[in-house]
Amino acid sequence: MICSKNTAVFSGVDLDGPLRRENVNFNRLVMFWNGETPGNSYFALNLRIRFPGEEWEPWVKFGTWGREISSKTLSPRGRKFRVAIDTLIAEENCEAFELGVETVPGKKGEKPLMFLMGATFWNEEDIPAQVDSVWTGEIPVPKRSQMVQDSSDRRVICSPTCLAMVMEYYGKDLPTLEVAEGVFDRGPGIYGNWPFNTALAGNMGFPAFVHRLTGMGEAREWLAAGTPLIASIAYQKGELTGAPQEKSNGHLVVITGFLQENGVEYVVTNDPAAPEEETVRRKYQREEFERAWNRIAYILFSH
């Protein structure tokens, strides 16, 4: 098991039973997993939480995922919590969680294999300690526009477009619409389910997880190590200068760098909402971007 203050990644022998993390404090949680699902085999994913001084809440079924099935989340509810697509939202702070997975063979006996599972979790009221970093630079992530795709869904495939860019950066060039089909959540009918995107990346050979960062300093550290970040942002009209969309309640971009110009600090991104690939590279004032970003990111690693 690999642990940070707010992200736990389990692998290897740790996957033999329910995956538990205790002595934590959170009211938000996003689970994630990587695995192989040959044929129409799949994973059934479950979770449960514990409030301080209480017994474990009953297990709830998060959803099902496999490459050749109609993967979907179920958005279950509990006594004092609910799961909104990919995020568990608790009414009170929790002290522990468990993750569970059932492996369901395919019709021809194909056996799915889970090789990584975990969760990122946080307390919505906490102000995290910031990581100091002054790195500037830019990673050459290939540029793609969702808006040039031949699909009626092109306005809502920002997440798989970002995922396709980062996988191409690591050496796997897949059509954007193929990636979009692979991450589609048939429960709510969306392409932006965070763990579904990292699950596809893992299935393609790129270990990946969802992580809530402490802030821009930690983002710089990932970039300095050569790792681009797929970041989740939301903003209203006038709040993100230079954005191709004047507002968005939920959008994904690839953070590719940081730079200083005339005393102003910028976050450099590949924004897939640009109308053509030539204008995908966008630089946003750090303060504006920081307000728009919820600190959630997909993090992929090369083979």
pLDDT in tens, the chain (303 residues): 566 789 999 997 677 778 999 999 999 999 999 999 999 999 999 999 999 999 999 999 999 999 999 999 999 999 999 999 999 999 999 999 999 999 999 999 999 999 999 999 999 988 777 777 788 999 999 999 999 999 999 999 999 999 999 999 999 999 999 999 999 999 999 999 999 999 999 999 999 999 999 999 999 999 999 999 999 999 999 999 999 999 999 999 999 999 999 999 999 999 999 999 999 999 999 999 999 999 999 999 997
Query: Is 276 found in the same domain as 147?
Result: yes
pLDDT of residue 294: 96
Q: Output the pLDDT for position 220.
A: 95
Q: Could you give the number of structural domains in the chain?
A: 2
Q: How many CB atoms lie within 10 A of CB 78?
A: 17
In this structure, the answer to whether residues 162 and 88 fall within a common structural domain is no
The structure's pTM equals: 0.95
Q: Looking at the structure, do residues 285 and 212 belong to the same domain, yes or no?
A: yes
Based on the domain organization, do 149 and 294 belong to the same domain? yes
If one counts every other C-beta atom within 10 angstroms of the C-beta of residue 82, the result is 14
Predicted pLDDT at 125: 87
Q: What is the C-alpha separation between 2 and 139, in angstroms, rounded? A: 26
Distance CA(197)–CA(209), nearest Å, equals 9
Residues 144 and 262 in one domain: yes
CATH assignment at residue 90:
2.60.120
Residue 129: inside a domain, yes or no?
Answer: no
pLDDT at 1: 56
Asked if residue 129 lies in contact with residue 155, where contact means CB atoms within 8 angstroms, the answer is: no
Cβ-Cβ contacts under 8 Å for 237 (sequence gap 6 or more)? 246, 247
Cβ pair 239, 288 in contact under 8 A: yes
Query: Is the domain of 30 the same as that of 178?
Result: no
- Which residue in this structure is represented by tokens 């959170």? 26
In whole angstroms, give the CA distance from residue 244 to residue 246.
Answer: 6
The pLDDT, as a whole number, for residue 4 is 78
- The answer as to whether 34 is a domain residue is yes
- Indicate which CATH number applies to the domain containing 160: 3.90.70.10
Provide the residue range defining the domain that includes 160: 137-300
Residues paired with 50 in a beta bridge: 56, 96
Place of tokens 């969306």: 190
